Amino acid sequence: MSAEMTPIETAKYVAARRAAEFVQDGMRVGLGTGSTADWMVRRLGERIKDEGLQIKGVPTSAATGQLAREVGIPVVSLDQAGWLDLTIDGADEFDGEFNLIKGGGGALLHEKIVATASDQMVVIADAGKEVETLGAFPLPVEVIPFGWQTTRTLIEEALDAMDVLGTSVTLRMKGDAPRVTDEGNHILDLHLKRIGNARHLALVLNQVPGVVENGLFLDICDKVVIGYGDGRVELRDLNDGSVETDQPGDKAENLFSDLAD
């Protein structure tokens, strides 16, 4: 791959590499899904090859599992792993309290199960994913195929009583057919524009018949690693309130040397 990267690609890359440093020998690690998480998976593969890092990875999607195997990460199921030490995953949005919207990649159900089965969840994101209030990104909701149109109608009716600015609900498509998740379900995208009370909304959505899970990740994330287009990385810790910033410094010119091949 060429070392020429857009600022957003750079931000994703540096955040992923920084987050991969949290992984230590012997850990059972949840491997997220999406473009930013892919960089993290590749970095862990490098560490296994170069450092002899010994871990077990639990992928949150079939695509992540395939990539993990390709780069040399031993893959096990969540049932085989039991409880996880750490999950590293991306996000479509995050706010100041580390509440998230996830599911843009279609893996929200597996992602939420894996994240909540972990001692710690670290989110990796470019700076553009930070918002004051969740909702600009459409909220994914995974639903079973049977009666999905009825489920959509029930969701639309429920949204009328919610503190949101939009109530449009669309079926996510892949070409001419509905997008199918790894569990064989459909995804409804809720175009809410702004979510005033995420906790209330999450509870209401999961009570709608046909809904499997929603993309609101609340009280799950512990740390956020934010990448910037100039190579800076900011690490925020919810538990102790600390904020650290890593500057590219003198190593900036070599930052992407491993991508030059």
Active-site residue set: 111
Cα R_g (the chain), whole angstroms: 18
Task: Provide the residue count of the chain.
Answer: 261
Here the tokens at position 160 are 């009328």
Task: Return phi, psi of residue 198, to 5°.
Answer: -65, -35
Beta partners for 213? 142
Is 23 in a helix, a strand, or coil? Answer: coil
Helix (H) or strand (E) holding 109: helix 108-116
Q: Are 126 and 226 in contact (CB under 8 A)?
A: yes
Asked if residue 101 lies in contact with residue 139, where contact means CB atoms within 8 angstroms, the answer is yes
